[in-house]
Structure 1
């Protein structure tokens, strides 16, 4: 067993802050989604692209943190570190989802009141492992691999990317990695432009179609982030956090492109954002420096909050979606007080999860899993 202690590298504070900005917009996306008439008119129309941004950020940070440490690190050691970082909130999110499950009974989920407790418990225990549940265990009726915490699907693919990196793709030369990323980018472009929905959404159902979408959405951004961490030479860019936050918001809030008549145009826009704009944002963010104590505190707070917010907010969104579905025809103008209450609750829940659960459990795991 390798007992060499790895020296912690300094964080990219701006990138930490951007992760929080994207996570907040994801919450708004999920609050406006049930009020939209279709995917064409959601107010936060491209909020789902935050997942692709997270994948790219993850690949960049993993490359920066670990690429030059494999002489001190084993595959199992790397995976233990990723487990310690990611998994406590996976367990919490699934557990909270199970606790709230029966209280979200609604016309939109007719299966909820028919689910026996034993089946709920089995789904929760499988959810703790992040393994997808088969459609026969879909207890909510949304055809999800993680029906107790919808966002778990992206963590499933995050783990796949980390495992692929650890088992061999980290060994690729820069040229070989660039070729791999180019092929993954071509696959992503093809998916986006030819999608029957005109977008890259998907990945949350355990079937061939969604598995293809999920792996395609993961491979390019994660390994493009890894490549960027290797070849980029950041230079100082003034006000990087401000400009990058504006760019992230502009992409995620962009209205639908092309409408129902030209679905391929929206797919092309999304591919452009993932392949070109997101790497540019990460490069600018990596080139930035916090310019004051206030900006440093904001970036730290947003960075600390981002993952707990992402992994716990949908527990409250289920209640909100149930309320919206029971008030047919409600508008955003009528729903905003309830949306604001849900958003505020999500922030409080995430911060409490961070302080009272995530940080203590991760500290305990570090001791238990220490090499």
Structure 2
């Protein structure tokens, strides 16, 4: 449902927050060795990509033709990079603490930190994950790439005919299916080794394009308006499912059908205006991005501290609560003020650069 006051799909916002929490539970289960493992929570990233395609098309399809491509890139960087930088900074502190313990070499650590700020996947050089400073950064790298391709095509490319769109989605779906079958699941694609990093291109391309198609086709406006809890519960069921590990067929069904349907029904879902539910969904959506980028370094710190007196499940809960508090502070004291200041400065850019002041 589109909130007419904020012009936002608040149910999708709330679902993004829940998906970010599921990713944190997955990382907690891996880093703190919890008994429960939501093996399919990594599909939250694919949900993010599909949701991003929907939201970017909704927000920018009409704006991009009147913008310079430089302005579009600047707007997307202003939206995404401040929290990326903060997430890298927090991850760098945790990595430097590991350095002081003698777990890493100075040159290697400093190179990993410096390269992360310019989104270079230098971890692959040392047989680490792509961004060991803060692993979720890999998805933001591909998010920015998808945004760049979207902006260039929307600004300079010709609109595709329906048959061409179907062919493109089909080709990307086949490519994604091949990648998932090759790697025996979607989980490592995008960050775990050079080949998986390259395959990340198809991991972002298919859901992002499908999300755009959902928005542009308006199919969500023709679906029955279900209560917001229904797509939310389906999403939770998919992401927190503890069965069928290393089952690529499950991943493919979710990637090719279930997640796009969740996005479409989430966009169509109903929530009572001015209700507690509406405010809760808005809060989850606002917190999702900073929480996503801050939780993983904090969980690594909790693991490295090796606190034996605290049960691991309780340690996981406390760490995620801390991540939530820091995410709220980062949002209010850093991200929102900085983005507002940068956008004010961008609006003062001379119109000679092809920048409409009102955009």
Superposition TM-score, scaled by structure 2 size: 0.86
Deviation readout 1:275-320 (Å, 9 max, x if unpaired)? 1011111111111232142111011101100101111111201113
Aligned to 1:45, the other structure's residue is in SS state coil
Q: Where in structure 2 are there 5+ consecutive unaligned residues?
A: 348-354
Matched, 1:128 2:117: yes
Choose which of 210, 215, 222 in structure 1 pairs with 2:201: 215
Q: What's the counterpart of residue 251 of structure 1?
A: 238
Contact 1:90/1:130, CA 8 A, preserved across alignment = no
**Counterpart for residue 71 of structure 2:** 77
Distance 2:167 2:36 in 1: 36
Aligned counterpart, 2:105: 115
Residue 177 (structure 1) aligned to one of 151, 154, 165: 165
- What secondary structure is seen at the aligned counterpart in 2 of 1:240? coil
Q: Are 1:285 and 2:251 counterparts?
A: no
Does residue 190 in structure 1 map to residue 178 in structure 2?
yes
Alignment of 1:363 with 2:340, yes or no, is yes
Q: What CA distance in whole angstroms lies between the structure 1 residues aligned with 2:89 and 2:328?
A: 17
- Residue 50 of structure 1 and its aligned partner are, at CA, apart by 0.4
Note the 1:187-336 alignment, pairs <5 A.
Answer: 187-195=175-183, 197-205=184-192, 207=194, 209-233=195-219, 234-235=221-222, 237-257=224-244, 263=246, 266-292=247-273, 293-323=275-305, 334-336=311-313
Looking at structure 1, the residues matched to 23 and 123 of structure 2 have their Cα atoms a distance apart, in angstroms, of 26
Asked if the contact 1:23–1:50 (Cα under 8 Å) also holds between the matched residues in 2, the reply is yes
Whether the 8 Å CA contact 1:191–1:200 is kept in 2: the answer is no
Q: CA deviation at 1:172?
A: 3.7
1:154 to 139, 145, 149: 139
State the partner residue of 2:44.
50
For 2:315 and 2:186, the matched residues in 1 are separated by 29
How far apart, CA to CA, are the structure 2 residues paired with 1:149 and 1:219? 22
Cα 1:35–1:256 change in 2 (3 A) is farther
Q: State TM-score, norm by structure 1.
A: 0.83
Give the superposed CA RMSD.
2.6
CA distance in 2 between counterparts of 1:205 and 1:29 reads 16
Which range is displaced more, 13-22 or 42-51? 42-51
CA shift at 1:334, angstroms?
3.7
In the comparison of the two structures, how many residue pairs are matched? Answer: 339
Alpha-carbon displacement from aligned partner over 1:67-103 (angstroms, at most 9, x marks no partner)? 1223312222211111010000011011111122233
